[in-house]
Chain A
Amino acid sequence: MNYMDEFRDRDVVLGYAAQIRKLSEQRPEPMAFMEVCGTHTMSIYQYGIRSLLPEGVRLISGPGCPVCVTPNRYIDRAIAISRLSDTIITTFGDMLRVPGSSSSLMEERARGADVRIVYSPLDAVAIARKNPCKRVVFLGVGFETTAPAIAASILAATGDGLANYLVLAAHKTIPLPMELLSSDPELKIDGYICPAHVSAIIGANAFRGLAEQRGVPCVVTGFEPADVMQGVEMLVRQVVEGKSRVENQYSRVVTWEGNCKAQSVLAQVFSVCDAEWRGIGVIPGSGLEIAADYAAYDAEKVLPVSVEETREHQGCRCGDILRGKVSPFDCPLFDRACTPESPVGACMVSSEGTCAAAYKYGR
């Protein structure tokens, strides 16, 4: 038992496929469900989930990849910081390839910048401890799952009295864009596959407003193929029965209240701000910035750099793809000018990006 393999059972998955087909026949109109988590996007492609669903049940990918929704301006700033002397940039792997307006961290590394991939922000704190004469800047991107970890790394640095650890923060919260997208008449989302590990932090209750006031069925769903199929089956059932409520398929990890300790660490170190989402624009109250008490750890405040003028990439449809309005295959650049080796848009960069997943697994 490792709580992963058990949830990949072929017979179970095929059983749900049959069940979903049967249920969906009770409703003539097609249904579309959106997943707003890059790990769901990956899982759906990786296990060939779409090949198992009937035509009338469509899965669309929303703005769930934190790297993809991070605007050019942030990347440009990170690049400017990487060019400062005695500076080590530490980051999760995905960020390396993201194109800014005229460069990427990978290119900067090729030119001599010290850019290191870490598994945990605590590894970045350890690098800061080992290199007291250098400043170590961690690129803090991610949603509610990751933000508490970054917050805790700042607390760990405080505890150690480390003055050379900084965070360039661009954290975002997911429920607001979900609300925004659910009222988009072009999209007509019939239900949400709610993010699994975000929910572990914020709790399944966070989606009640969406389900109960806006009438959008929500199922908090795990990442293994049997989880995803069960989650989709629960959504189809809600639609067919004309219900809209929050259900928790991933009850082995997610509670209704969420992780209170993580929530309080988050509230201690970060405060709510407006955030720019690549392709969507500014969503008021959907971001997290480092709170005034911890301003000494805020790379944006501590390191004044001049950031080049932001240039968006011509023809890239990342924005529409992030909103689920078009699929990667509809973008004129997909697999032509834009490939994982030379990505134009962020959706092609992160392995969790919709375009990258579609490129790697989807054709």
Chain B
Amino acid sequence: MDNDLILLGHGSGGKLSHQLLSDLVIPTLSGIPPAGQNDAAVVTHNGQRFAFTTDSYVVDPLFFPGGNIGCLAVNGTINDLAMMGARPLYMSVGLIMEEGFSRAELKEILDSMRAAADGAGVAIVTGDTKVVPRGKADRIFINTSGVGVIEHDLAIGGNCARPGDRVLINGAIGDHGIAVMAKREGLDLESDIRSDCAALNGLVEEILKEGDAVHVLRDPTRGGVATTLKEIALQSRVGITLQERALPYNGAVKGVCAILGLDPLYVANEGKILVVAAPQAADALLERMRSHPLGREAAIIGEVTGEDDRGRLEIDTVSGGTRAVEMLAGEQLPRIC
């Protein structure tokens, strides 16, 4: 095999992405050890802690049920800041467009960016626009960066899960990835599944009211719930067990996954948050989440079982068996035969 080639899987958020980051990108650029990898960097200036993050958006199709690349780009960056327990304040936007892209479509994308930013109380304060010759990019790519302020001194991060903690999620799993995939050429699946694309900073504010009972906040985007929880297990050196029966799904996500042979635990979400919290606060936290519009279907889905250097993630299946869960490897491809 040709090791020089960058493959699609290197951008999937799964194990290939991790390898590329830890083998090449991080050691070359900064050298932050993997345990310090989170959704955003935390920097301190004059005693004030800030969260800082950047993300690029290359989704195909650009428009999908429940959203478009624009709201995705704004909400995604807001969520990365929110996952550090930060209050998002300012954002930048970089647009890279292909010659010939539609002005009307750009307007629609910008409108939803503005709406998403306003809705989350974030100001878009700077940006950049580039156009490349036809064929050098696929219609439009968007990069957003964001900065937020951390106004508490809680220790929240992927390495903070402790034995006994409970794992919570704010609602149904897999909606975004399935809404996008069903729209792709060659699959032609019709459903009412809409992307869950949403800004989670409001919900996070609510969650943080539980104070130091909150140990980990993570949004299970690319790679899905399975990959994100496995990362947490590895970073915190703990074992985690999920209860399959407790996992919330919309029926149509199960339907599409059944048709294409996909595992919804590896499907991307854009408005979901995984919370790892102390057991004594779990029920109160669940109530708190359920009282927020983005957490009505919140559920306790698992438990941190104990210390484990190998970060074992297990699932108790609906049928009573148990199995291990690993990170997403490469892209998840429809399997038919």
Contacts and interface: CB of A to CB of B under 8 A. Distances in A.
A and B touch in the complex (CB under 8 A): yes
Given A9-B319, A52-B320, A362-B323, A92 B5 contact: no
A111 B5 contact: yes
A48 B186 contact: no
Interface stretch (B170-178, B207-215, B324-332): B324-332
9 contacts: A13-B319, A38-B337, A42-B261, A46-B317, A93-B335, A93-B336, A116-B186, A127-B186, A351-B333
Q: How many of chain A's residues touch chain B, expressed as a range?
A: 35 or more
Given A119-B186, A146-B337, 11 more contacts: A10-B319, A14-B320, A47-B323, A48-B320, A103-B1, A106-B8, A117-B186, A118-B186, A119-B260, A123-B186, A363-B324
A97 B330 contact: yes
A96 B320 CA distance: 34
A174 to B, nearest CB: 12
Contacts, number: 136
Interface string B63-79: 00000000000000000
Contacts of B321: 13, 47-52, 225
Interface in B278-337: 315, 317-326, 329-330, 333-337
Interface in A226-284: 226
A110 interface: yes
A46 B325 CA distance: 9
B65 to A, nearest CB: 18
Interface string A80-115: 000000000010111011010001101101110000
Given A46-B317, A110-B8, A342-B1, A119 B323 contact: no
B8 to A, nearest CB: 7
Nearest to A45: B323
A4 interface: yes
A360 interface: yes
A93 B260 CA distance: 9
Interface of A: 4, 8-10, 13-14, 17, 38, 42, 45-52, 66-67, 90, 92-94, 96-97, 99, 103-104, 106-107, 109-111, 116-120, 123, 127, 141-143, 145-146, 225-226, 339-342, 350-352, 359-363
A10 B2 CA distance: 46
Nearest to B263: A46
A351 B326 contact: no
Nearest to B244: A47
Contact of B333 (A13, A117, A120): A117
B334 A93 contact: yes
Interface string B7-24: 111000011100100000
A93 B258 CA distance: 15
Nearest to A9: B319
B6 interface: yes
Contacts of A96: 333
Contacts of A339: 15, 329
A142 B337 contact: yes
A297 to B, nearest CB: 19
A48 B6 CA distance: 35
A9 B336 CA distance: 25
A96 B9 CA distance: 12
Nearest to A109: B8
Contacts of B14: 341
9 closest A-B pairs by CB = A48-B321, A93-B333, A340-B329, A225-B319, A142-B337, A48-B323, A93-B334, A13-B319, A118-B186
Contacts of B259: 119
